[in-house]
């Protein structure tokens, strides 16, 4: 996917859910993966023409795994003119060595977001942009249904009242395959994940199941995503954001 195409989808999501307001200072959470790097590049490009002016910061929460080199991301941030901060933590050690978590992803996510939001506050940011794409939306919805027996999905925007920070997800209209294509086309410096659980998670199983269902049922992913948008899940209902169904 080319920059113009992905910009169109991101701008539509941002406008549909009023993700960016005049004077926002937005921290982009950079894991080192294709999604977060794509989000950073697109938000920086959109900054040039979007009618509401905003500032950007880039933040990586390091989990403390050996062999993680974020210097290519530093170079990218220097090139595009975005300040880059790395938060050093021992989250990986706590989860795998101390607590020996059998299902580490939920706790890891909670701890990473806590560290990210704390740094965003320190930098004077009022919003944190996360790199969840369209596939992530569908996977999260189905995981909640199948593993927890409830209808749930993260919202496009989430206000954290305790910290007075809003999480936004501008990539929710962009399929993962298009993010991957964009990252490859742009030569984004993806940093390989050193997590011991990488590739062996419930989310990976969900990806496989969705691929199988997509082969069996036409437009399965689009229909599921549109059902989420039309649902009463918090933050997703179209008319709540001034949209038509």
Residue 4: is its pLDDT beyond 60?
A: yes
Residues 101-105: what's their mean pLDDT? Answer: 77
Of 129, 229, 185, 125, the C-alpha closest to 1 is 185
Tally of domains in the chain: 1
Residues 191-213: what's their mean pLDDT? Answer: 84
Residue 227: is its pLDDT beyond 80?
A: yes
User: Could you tell me what percent of the chain has a pLDDT over 90?
Assistant: 76
The answer to whether 186 and 41 are in contact (CB under 8 A) is: yes
Residue 234 lies in a domain: yes
According to DSSP H, which parts of the chain are helical? 3-16, 34-46, 71-80, 91-93, 105-122, 134-143, 176-186, 202-216, 220-230
The parent domain of residue 116 ranges over 3-240
Residue 200: is its pLDDT beyond 70?
A: no
Residues 166-190: what's their mean pLDDT? Answer: 97
Residue 107 lies in a domain: yes
Residues 37-43: what's their mean pLDDT? Answer: 98
CATH number at residue 107: 3.40.50.620
pLDDT digits (tens, 9 = 90+) for 11-24: 999 999 999 999 99
Residue 245 lies in a domain: no
């Amino acid at each position: 996917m080319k920059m113009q195409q992905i910009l169109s989808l991101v701008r539509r999501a941002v406008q549909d859910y009023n993700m960016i307001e005049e004077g926002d200072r937005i921290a982009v959470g950079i894991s080192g993966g294709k999604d977060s790097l794509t989000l950073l590049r697109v938000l920086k490009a959109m900054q040039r023409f979007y009618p509401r002016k905003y500032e950007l910061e880039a933040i990586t929460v390091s989990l403390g795994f050996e062999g993680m080199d974020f210097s290519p991301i530093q170079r990218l941030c220097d090139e595009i003119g975005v300040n880059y901060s790395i938060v050093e933590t021992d989250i990986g050690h706590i989860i795998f060595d101390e607590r020996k978590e059998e299902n580490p992803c939920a706790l890891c996510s909670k701890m990473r977001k806590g560290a990210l939001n704390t740094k965003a506050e320190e930098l004077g940011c009022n919003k944190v942009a996360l790199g969840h794409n369209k596939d992530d939306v569908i996977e999260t919805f189905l995981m909640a249904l199948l593993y927890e027996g409830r209808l749930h999905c993260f919202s496009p925007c989430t206000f954290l009242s305790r910290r007075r920070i809003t999480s936004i997800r501008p990539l929710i209209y962009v399929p993962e395959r298009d993010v991957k294509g964009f990252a490859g086309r742009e030569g984004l410096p993806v940093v390989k994940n050193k997590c011991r659980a990488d590739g062996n998670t419930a989310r990976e199983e969900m990806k496989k199941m969705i691929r199988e269902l997509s082969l069996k049922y036409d437009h399965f992913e689009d229909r599921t995503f549109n059902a989420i948008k039309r649902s009463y899940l918090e933050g997703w209902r179209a008319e709540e954001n001034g949209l038509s169904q």
